C-alpha cells in the first residue's frame, strides 16, 4: 500500500512515519508539510506546500495513494474557539474535501483526541471543535474514514519530535494507566490495518486502536 502522512515534524506524525517505513505492507510514503523533514529513505517522498489548500494543484501526484494519515494539528493552549476552529476544522476538513475530489477510493484517518465531544455541545472548547471536525469528516464519502482518539502516547526509538511533556511525564504516568497508554508504533500499525482490513467503527478509542494494531 501507498500512504500519505501529514504532520511528520510532530510527535504523532513522526511516530506513524517510522512505523510505515518499517512495515513491509507499506511500499511508499509521501509526507506533506510546510517544511522539510530531515530523512532520506527509499520508501519516502516529500511534498512541500506553503498552504495545505494547494493540494488540488498536485492531483496527478496524489491520485494513486491508498490512505492518508492526517496527524498534523495544534495544541488548544492559548487559543480561543474561533482561532482553534481555524487551525483545526478549517484546516482538516477542506484538505479532506480536496483529497476526495482527487481520490475518493482512499481511506482517510484523522488523529483527534481522547474525550473529544461528538455532541459538539460540551463545556470543553477543544473537545467541541474536534467533535465538529470528526462529524464533518465522517460525512465525506471516502472508501473509509476513521477518527483515532489516542490518550497517553510513548514515542518510538529514534524519534526527534517528542513533546517535552511526554518525555518527562510519559514514563512516569504510563505504569499507572497501562490501559490508556499507546505506543506510537501501535498507532501506526492500527492505521495501516485500517486501510488494509477496515474496522467496524469510525471513531476509535484507545482500546479500539490497540485491537486494530493486533489484527
CATH number at 65 reads 3.40.50.720
Distance separating alpha carbons of residues 136 and 125, to the nearest angstrom: 17
Q: How many domains does the chain have?
A: 1
Express each pLDDT in 33-66 by its tens digit: 999 999 999 999 999 999 999 999 999 999 999 9
Residue 156's nearest CA partner among 6, 60, 51, 17 is 17
Q: Which domain holds residue 96?
A: 2-214
Q: Which residues of the chain have pLDDT under 70?
A: 159, 161-179
Q: 150-176 pLDDT, tens per residue?
A: 988 887 777 676 655 455 455 555 554
Amino acid at each position: 500500500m501507498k500512504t500519505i502522512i501529514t504532520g511528520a515534524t510532530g510527535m504523532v506524525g513522526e511516530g506513524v512515519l517510522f512505523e510505515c517505513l518499517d512495515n513491509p505492507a507499506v511500499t511508499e510514503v509521501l509526507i506533506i508539510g510546510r517544511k522539510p523533514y530531515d530523512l532520506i529513505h527509499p520508501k519516502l517522498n516529500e511534498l512541500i506546500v506553503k498552504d495545505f489548500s494547494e493540494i488540488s494543484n498536485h492531483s496527478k501526484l496524489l491520485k494513486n495513494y491508498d490512505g492518508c494519515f492526517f496527524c498534523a494539528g495544534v495544541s488548544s493552549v492559548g487559543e480561543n474557539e474561533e482561532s482553534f476552529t481555524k487551525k483545526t476544522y478549517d484546516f482538516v476538513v477542506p484538505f479532506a474535501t480536496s483529497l476526495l475530489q482527487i481520490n475518493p477510493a482512499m481511506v482517510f484517518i484523522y488523529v483527534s483526541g481522547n474525550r473529544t465531544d461528538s455532541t459538539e455541545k460540551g463545556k470543553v472548547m477543544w473537545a467541541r471543535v474536534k467533535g465538529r471536525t470528526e462529524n464533518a469528516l465522517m460525512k465525506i464519502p471516502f472508501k473509509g474514514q476513521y477518527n483515532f482518539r489516542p490518550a497517553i502516547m510513548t514515542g518510538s526509538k529514534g524519534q526527534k519530535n517528542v513533546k517535552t511533556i511526554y518525555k518527562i511525564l510519559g514514563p512516569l504516568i504510563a505504569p499507572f494507566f497501562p490501559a490508556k497508554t499507546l505506543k506510537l508504533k501501535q498507532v501506526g500499525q492500527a492505521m495501516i490495518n485500517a486501510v488494509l482490513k477496515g474496522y467496524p467503527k469510525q471513531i476509535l478509542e484507545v482500546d479500539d486502536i490497540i485491537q486494530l494494531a493486533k489484527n
